[in-house]
Amino acid sequence: MNAFNRLVMLIIALLLIAVPVTMLLIAFGVIPADLVNQYTGYRNGLEALGNLQEASDFDQQTRTIILVVSVLVALLALILLLRELSFGRRIARDTVVEENPGQETVIKSSAVKSLVEGAAREAGAVSPNVSLGSEGRAYDVHCKIQVPRSGNFVETASRARENIQNALERYSVSYKEIEVTVQGTEN
pLDDT band per the 50, 70, 90 thresholds, residue 160: very high
Digit-coded pLDDT (tens) for 31-84? 776 776 677 665 565 566 566 555 556 677 877 887 888 888 878 777 777 776
Residue 95 CB partners (closer than 8 Å, separation 6+): 106, 107, 109, 112, 134, 137, 139, 173, 174
Contact present, 174 and 138 (Cβ < 8 Å): yes
Contact present, 139 and 132 (Cβ < 8 Å): yes
Residues of the chain with CATH 3.30.70.1350: 95-185
Decide: helix, strand or coil at residue 153.
helix
pLDDT of residue 77: 75
Q: How is domain 95-185 classified at the CATH fold level? A: Alpha-Beta Plaits (3.30.70)
Whole-model pTM?
0.52
